[in-house]
Amino acid sequence: MLNSEERQALVNYRLEKAEETLKEAVDCGSLNHWTLAANRLYYAVYYASSALLIQNEMIVKTHAGVTALIGQKFVSEDKLSKSDAQLLARLQTMRHTGDYDDFMEWHKEEVEPLFEKVKDYINKVKNIITKQK
């Protein structure tokens, strides 16, 4: 179990990682690497989500576990919206299919609209964490 100082350091690290990964997604999109951009968008949301869970002393070892706990804890308590949870699930599916399915490529029209949503999601998570401090 992490002490409060260690937990806060890990939360801060994951939030920074979310921001950096969002920048990576933008870079990938600017080079028309849309499947890779979708992957990086997923990880940006994943890192922010894991920061929120860690802040609340919830340790999860799987990607599916992160998605499930975000819905169970934060959507059910109206701290995040259903559309936020749907974004996380959608990006998880996009990442998985882009990484593992043959002949599967994501395109600009599918990925580009998600950039602003991911930015908003990260900001919502930061606001929740700030209010909990």
Query: Domains, the chain, ranges and CATH?
Result: 4-132 (1.20.120.330)
The pLDDT tens digits for 90-100 are: 999 999 999 99
The pLDDT tens digits for 6-32 are: 999 999 999 999 999 999 999 999 999
Question: What residues contact 25, with CB distance under 8 A and at least 6 apart?
Answer: 37, 38, 40, 41, 44, 115, 118
Report the predicted TM-score, pTM, of the whole model to 2 decimal places: 0.95
pLDDT for 59 equals: 86
Among 38, 13, 8, 20, smallest CA distance to 100 is for 38
